[in-house]
Amino acid sequence: SRYESGSDHVDAKEDISPTYDPREDEP
């Protein structure tokens, strides 16, 4: 949901986050 939310700063944070889940990228 990085592009879905439109939050670029959050995208970078989530990308490097060890708790980042691929499912979060889905709408």
| Percentage above 90 pLDDT, the chain | 0
Q: What is the pLDDT of residue 4?
A: 61
* Assigned token pair, 9: 């700063």
Q: What is the pLDDT of residue 18?
A: 62
Q: What ranges in the chain are assigned the alpha helix state H?
A: 2-5, 8-16
Does the pTM surpass 0.75? The reply is no
Helices (H) and strands (E) counted in the chain, each on its own, are: 2, 0
User: Is 25 a residue whose pLDDT tops 60?
Assistant: yes
Confidence class of residue 10 from pLDDT cuts 50, 70 and 90? low
In the chain, the percentage of residues whose pLDDT exceeds 70 is 4
